[in-house]
Amino acid sequence: MKSGFVAICGRPNAGKSTLMNKIIGEKVAIVSNKPQTTRTKIMGVRTEDDCQIVLIDTPGIHKPHNKLGEKMEKYIYTATKDIDVLLYVVDATLYDNEYPKEKAALEGLKASDVPVILVVNKVDKVEKNSLLPTIQKLSELYDFSGIVPLSAKMGDNVDALLGEIKNLLSEGPQFFPGDIITDQPERQIVAEFIREKALRLLNQEIPHGIAVEIEKMQRRENGTYEILAAIYCERQSHKAIIIGKKGEKLKEIGSRARQDIERFLSSKVYLELWVKVKEDWRNKEAFMNTIGFE
């Protein structure tokens, strides 16, 4: 049996969470086109007959602007401790002026004692002949153990990445039972599904100031779930936008989230959402601890 821990790092929006979900074959980390979608570290496990890969998805590397950002940074650096392989994910559509940012992010990881595989993601979005020069320039940034161009969304070449990872892993125990796919509690995944729909349906600065707390999650006698959740935002004006005209925005967030939650829990779900204002919560330690950022 081969096994090991593999951290997935990179700048915001590179496709880290999409890649992790693809590798484990289930959605445990939410995905959106807004940067800083992932806020904590999320474990995902892939178990095969002769191999167990424990992945750790992390927040995108960026300069923190508040206490939440500082916490996110800590999650990244604790996730890269005691690992066997680091995947560094880059969006293949990057502009020329972004190479120094990638370089700085890589240096910040100080991962020199661990093999780093460069994952050049979103190859479905670039012309074939522009990919080679991109790979060439990226390969000059760091002494990578391997370079794998792929599309996490489409699944193209993900098998090649798995091969590279397995080559770098050594003999080891099976750390988790075969049916375990994540360390995220059910409640947390449900809260994240709701946040994902809010991220996708809202724009500008609002998504960054959103947090979701499950206030009640109860299984009824007939097997269905009753879930009560609060969507926190930072301003009264944001609350009005999240609720929308005649409550339509909130309704849309709820109905899309409910579909995902029902699939995840394999059960009918009654979901009720409330919007609450908590000014500047991203700098309020005690509040952040209560909603899961300990």
How many whole angstroms separate alpha carbon 21 and alpha carbon 28? 6
Q: Where are the alpha helices (DSSP H) in the chain?
A: 16-24, 67-79, 99-109, 128-139, 158-168, 186-201, 236-243, 248-265, 285-290
Residues 5 to 44 in contact with Mg ion, rule: CB under 5 A: 16-17, 37-38
Q: Quick check: 38 binds ligand GTP (CB under 6 A)?
A: yes
Q: How many CA atoms lie within 13 A of 85 on its CB side?
A: 25
Cβ within 8 Å of residue 144, ≥6 positions away: 88, 116, 117, 118
Pick the piece of the chain touching ligand GTP (CB under 6 A) from 108-116, 151-159, 171-179, 274-282.
151-159
Residue 3 or 21 having the CB closest to Mg ion? 21
Residues 6 or more apart from 178 whose CB is under 8 A from it?
47
The tokens describing 195, both together, are 């946040």
Q: Which is nearer to Mg ion, 119 or 271 (CB)?
A: 119
Q: Which of 74, 153, 166, 256 binds ligand GTP (CB under 6 A)?
A: 153
Give, in order, the Cα–Cα distances in Å from 77 to each of 43, 81, 107, 273: 14, 7, 12, 34
Binding partner of residue 125 among ligand GTP, Mg ion, none, CB under 5 to 8 Å per kind?
Answer: ligand GTP
Select from Mg ion, ligand GTP, none the partner in contact with residue 116, using the beta carbon and a kind-dependent cut-off of 5 to 8 Å: none
Query: Which one of ligand GTP, Mg ion, none interacts with residue 13, CB within 5 to 8 A by kind?
Result: ligand GTP
Which of 16, 249 has the CB closer to ligand GTP?
A: 16
Residue 184 in contact with ligand GTP, rule: CB under 6 A: no
3-state secondary structure (DSSP) of residue 247? helix
Which residues of the chain form contacts with ligand GTP (CB under 6 A)? Answer: 10, 12-18, 31-33, 35-38, 59-60, 121-122, 124-125, 151-153
Which residues of the chain form contacts with Mg ion (CB under 5 A)? Answer: 16-17, 37-38
